[in-house]
Structure 1
Amino acid sequence: MEEKKITVNTGKQNNQRRSNQKKNNQKRRKRKTGNNNSSNNNTTSLPVKKSAEEMRKWFAEYSDLVSQYQDPKKTMNVSFQTYSKDDLRSFMENPYANYKNLRSISRFLYNRSRVYKRLVVYFANMIDLKMRSVIPKFNFLDQTDEQSVLQKYYETLTQLEVMNLPLEFLKAYMTCFREDVFFGAAYCDQDGFFILPIDSERCRVTGLYKDGSLAFHMDMSYFSSNKDLLEFWGEPFQSMYEAYEKDQQNGKWQPMPDANAVCLKYNIDDLTTPLPPFMGIFDSLINLEDLKEITAISDEQRIYKLLAMSIPLLSASREVNDFAVDLDTMAKFYNRITDVIPDYANIVLTPSKIDTVSFEHDQTTDVNKVENATKNIMKVAGGQALVGDSGSTAINMAISTDENEAISSLLPQTEAIVNRLLSFVIKDPAKVVFHEVTTFSKDKYRENLIRSATYGVPVKTDLAIASGFSELDIIRKGYLEKMLNIQDLYTPLQSSNTMNTTGLGDKKNGRPSMGDDDISEDGEASRDKRERSG
């Protein structure tokens, strides 16, 4: 088995990679100029870099084809290989050697098992990238150009506005919880943002950036038989494929450029082998599906009826098979009855009495078995909030554990990737910080912000974001309210929160005293005590 080495991308390597990409772009521009000036030159120029919006529209049309890596002009039949429990147990004996099969089982169960799909979606949707802070970079010890700081802050907010990070990274998170690792190429410009998913079987984690995010290489031999995709995907794949064609022996695996690389891995402690995070419950999930099928068969048997149609015998006769009704007549009645009985019933002719044979089964017991098996899987894998059979305290503790598991490794990686991508679109962008807040802890997070704001902590923007507004929306709403004089148009009703407190220090002011008939015994005792003390 080929050894996979993990290297660290230094600043020198990053600069060299950018330099190589710049040289490739210059070469393509020269070829294009040569083609325009010379009619004898038959070399065709490669398309320019695709915008995020162009890639989004193309992927929306050919998303199924991209996931299967098929020619868009060819028909495609999507199928999933089925696996038995024996296959799974064989793979689990040596998971590192069978990680591809285990990830294939995970994809199969994701489409086959509703329980498994809910579990993956549950964890993937926990991460809320709207809960963030955007902090400009400046040295507060030196004299700061406020206009320059505000300009960089505005450019960063504007870029984040068009990137729609929660939607783009959600598909990456779902892949991570299903298959452990996600590989993608980011198309990021001032007009939009799009992450093109890449088949994980054609990519390999090969290094770490200084910020801790993952670098990866892609197998370029795939494009040898799919060159038409190079036209659709544009850069950086065209430059990567050109490098492969120059040296096919050593250039098969090409690094994804820093400006495009998006790689997320759930099991961050093992960068070499991608193993599905929930592979420990695969056996239980297969057993659950088998139990559902058995229950379905039992339900069919429960309503099944067998009708026995008796042929009467002559009571005084001593001969064998001396029937009181002609058999041909019985056959006619038999045929008439079979034409009207439902599918879940059948009929037989017998010389005995008419009777019914039922295949009764305890349906409630079967339902409880499936329900209990589902709950046990959720309790083991997480997602106890999806079954909700415990008290609120136990559920909250379970959710807290699930939150830590969901965000501990993926959220820091996401933050590093987003800041790296922004640096290629904006010069000296503001820093984006994602908070460890999930959809379940948002209300508690908001309460903590309110408490911090009362002590003067500068979190007003964070509080507004927690209320559902983006940074730009907050600023624009603030300016709009000022322009419309909202504070004068809407005067709040008089209350203890809005009334003037001047003079309330006087003991005569405040709540009126209660009468002797209205006060309780404890209240009367307290009043007497105050009066005795003066």
Structure 2
Amino acid sequence: MNKIDSVEIHTEKQRTEDDKKYKEQIKTTQQKFAALNQLVLRDLNNDRNTPSFFLYTKDEINTYLSNPYRYQAQLRNAVIYMYSASSHFRRIIQYFVGLTDLSYIVSPYNVDISSMSDTKKIKKNYTKILHTLDGFNIKSSFDTILTVCLREDVFYGTMRVAKDNIMIQQLPSDYCDIASIQDGVLDVSFNFQYFDSRSELLPLYPVEFTTKYNLYKQDTTQYKWQLLDAPTSFAIKCNKDILSYPVPPFVGLLRELYEVEDYKQLNLTQTEIENYALLVMKLLMNDDGSFPMDYEMAKDIWRNLDSVLPNEVGSVLTPMPVEKISFNHANTSDVDNVADAENHLFTAAGVSSLLFNNAKASSNALLLSIKADQAITYGIVLSIEKMLNRYIHTLSHGKMFKISFLDVSRFNRKEAGDSYLKACQYGLPMVSYYCASQGLNQSDIDSMHFLENSIMGIPDKFVPLSSSATQSTKAADSNGEAGAPTKDLGEISDNGEIAQERDEE
């Protein structure tokens, strides 16, 4: 073998080794991204920390409410327990969470339109920021933030940023507190004493926590509480007017929930009493005071009768006349205390009881009540909006854009859509608003337009459906559909609603 051949073999061997190292690096990188894409909540094989919640007594709840700052942990645990145990409390929270569909649009931010000449770069950055927001899975994952805020008042979270998505990891509330506010967003301080007895959980948190926990171990006094890095860590609070401590928005309902259960027990007792009867067996006496029947025989007859009676009927043996005594409903109050207690519960929550037990519904009053409730949820959504804007403004491709959430829910989607559509018809640039209100994100507009027009050719294949816009008056009359269209709820008076119901009957 000559020298040249030896060099070529060495070069080929080196190339093979380099390719092997490169593949190993790629594999390691993919594993790292896979670990980021998977949010591990707990290691079930080494889980020594199980949550424990208690049903506090009514007196304990009154004590906690007397000093919410001191008993903030107890109040938080009480509402978490009630959220799991009470269907009434859960429905109220879920009702408020459902008062937004988290529709959003992305628009230019803090830029001079006249200086934006490089349209290709702007469109490229715009597409990138849309992909970043898609990575949050806002509509499917941010419901958790709303639920925690409406239940406990504060959601403490940190972001797990991966290549394709960004996951929000909830932090333990008992070891978090609000430290400062930056760009309108609340920052979080974390008590790293949390990991002293939970060191196995440390790998389940971002690397920042490991670094700061090592710092805490060097000085457990000075570094017990440390401010988490912004903008990846944040706090969302429902009651923004009280920042010193959390106050669950519906903590005042706890006492009413106990009253509902108390009245249910009273109703059950009352029903049992109403279904109870007592039979009295008369033991006759002669004029001289003696018994015409042998006493032992009378007891045997009474025992035979008592043995065949159901549990709801009692019997006694007495020398008095026989009669039936019933504790019927005629001697008790007709007031339904349970229904009254449930109505008081919803009233204390500030919502209409017609939403949950629709006995005397008035559509207009109900829609106005929903709009007032929607303002509470939208206030939390605006805090989420500030948190997202703070994050995307730190990205190189997001500095000139902002996200804006629409005040839209399933209850006012048609009203909002009609408003945006009318604005578009008058030339206002609100097509994105209309699409977002109907559930179509901006990132889907171009792709769906390309799919339906260029790929599927839907405009060329589909003929408009028959409607009042494509039919003549004569055709409409023959189908029996002439006349003004039926008005929806909120567009018709209460008397008109009653008239519609009569026509349907």
Shift of 1:475: 1.8
How has the CA–CA distance of structure 1 residues 361 and 99 changed in structure 2, closer, same or farther, with 3 Å as cutoff? farther
Q: How much has 1:374 moved relative to structure 2? A: 2.0
Distance 1:202 1:170, change over 3 A: same
Match of 2:498 in 1: none
1:181 maps onto 2:181 in alignment: no
**Aligned counterpart, 1:519:** none
Whether 1:414 aligns to 2:384 is: yes
**1:96 and 2:96 are equivalent in the alignment:** no
2:204 is equivalent to residue 232 of structure 1:
yes
State the TM-score, normalized to the length of structure 1: 0.73
Distance 2:225 2:198 in 1: 16
Q: Does 1:124 align with 2:97?
A: yes
Letter in 1 for 2:430: V
Moved more, 193-202 or 261-270: 193-202
SS at match of 2:386: helix
Match of 1:491?
463
Aligned length: 437
* Alpha-carbon distance in 1 for matches of 2:299, 2:70: 69
Q: Structure 1 205/363 Cα, relative in aligned 2: closer, same or farther at 3 Å?
A: farther
The 3 A distance-change label for structure 1 pair 382 and 347 is: same
CA distance in 2, matches of 1:363, 1:144: 86
Query: Which residues in structure 2 correspond to 1:62-141 (within 5 Å)?
Result: 72-74=46-48, 76=50, 78-84=52-58, 86-129=59-102, 131-136=103-108, 139-141=112-114
Aligned to 1:289: 261
Moved more, 224-233 or 343-352: 343-352
Cα separation, 1, equivalents of 2:465 and 2:189: 64
1:77-128, Cα deviation, whole Å (9 max, x unpaired)? 74414222x3333333343343333333333433343322222221122132
Tell me what 1:253 maps to: 225
**Which of 26, 38, 43 is matched with 1:54 structurally?**
38
Query: Is it true that 1:473 corresponds to 2:447 in the alignment?
Result: no
Q: For the residues of structure 2 that align with 1:371 and 1:477, how far apart are their CA atoms?
A: 50
Shift of 1:378: 2.0
Q: Which whole-Å CA distance do the structure 1 matches of 2:194 and 2:413 have between them?
A: 44
Conserved in 1, the CA contact under 8 Å of 2:420 and 2:430? yes
- Among 142, 145, 153, which residue is 2:126 paired with? 153
TM-score normalised to the size of structure 2? 0.77
Kept in 2, the 8 Å contact 1:83–1:105? The answer is: no
1:515 counterpart residue number? none
**Structural RMSD (CA):** 3.3
Tell me which residue corresponds to 2:327: 359
* Deviation of 1:221 (Å): 0.7
Structure 1 CA distance for aligned equivalents of residues 304 and 468 of structure 2: 89
Question: Does the Cα contact within 8 Å between 2:101 and 2:139 map onto a contact in 1?
Answer: yes
Distance in 1 between the 2:325 and 2:418 partners?
65
Q: 1:51 to 1:441 in 2, by over 3 A?
A: farther
Task: Give the 3 Å change call, closer, same or farther, for CA 289–482 of structure 1 in structure 2.
Answer: same
Residue 494 of structure 1 deviates from its aligned partner by: 8.2
Q: Which residue of 2 aligns with 1:38?
A: none
Partner SS state of residue 156, structure 2: strand
- Please give the alpha-carbon distance, in whole angstroms, between the structure 2 residues aligned to 1:115 and 1:195: 28
Give the superposition deviation at 1:328: 6.4
Q: Does the 8 Å contact 1:188/1:421 carry over to 2?
A: no
Partner of 1:373: 341
> d(CA) in 2 for partners of 1:278 and 1:444?
29
1:120/1:178 contact within 8 Å kept: yes
In structure 2, how many angstroms separate the alpha carbons of the residues matched to 1:366 and 1:214?
52
Conserved? CA contact 1:179–1:275, under 8 Å: yes
Tell me if the contact between 2:129 and 2:397 (Cα under 8 Å) persists in the aligned partners. Answer: no
Conserved 8 A contact 1:288-1:374: yes
**Cα distance between partner residues in 2 of 1:191 and 1:323:** 95
Query: Distance between the aligned counterparts of 2:226 and 2:402, measured in 1?
Result: 30
Question: Which residue is 1:272 aligned to?
Answer: 244
Change in 2 beyond 3 A, CA 1:418/1:113: same
Matched to 1:378, the amino acid is: F
Q: Summarize the alignment of residues 333-352 of structure 1 with structure 2, pairs less than 5 Å apart.
A: 333-334=304-305, 336-337=307-308, 341=310, 343-352=311-320
Rounded to whole Å, the distance in 2 between the matches of 1:244 and 1:185 is 19
* 1:383 lines up with 2:351 in the alignment: yes
Q: Which amino acid aligns with 2:426?
A: Y
CA shift, 1:439, in A, is 2.8
Q: What secondary structure sits across from 1:118 in the alignment?
A: helix
Q: Give the C-alpha shift of residue 207 in structure 1.
A: 0.5
User: 1:298 aligned to 2:282?
Assistant: no
Question: Which of 322, 330, 333 in structure 1 is aligned with 2:301?
Answer: 330
For residue 289 of structure 1, report the CA deviation from its aligned partner: 2.5
1:208 maps to which of 174, 181, 188: 181
Percent identity among equivalent residues?
24
The amino acid that maps onto 2:137 is N
Q: Aligned-pair distance for 1:366?
A: 6.4
> In structure 1, what is the Cα distance between the partners aligned to 2:33 and 2:331?
61
8 Å contact from structure 1 (residues 185, 260) kept in 2: yes
Cα distance, 1:352 vs structure 2:
4.5
Aligned to 1:319: 290
Amino acid at match of 1:232: L
Counterpart in 2 of 1:532? none
- CA 1:73 to 1:269, structure 2 compared with 1: closer, same or farther past 3 Å? closer
1:231/1:331 Cα in 2 relative to 1: closer, same or farther (>3 Å)?
Answer: same
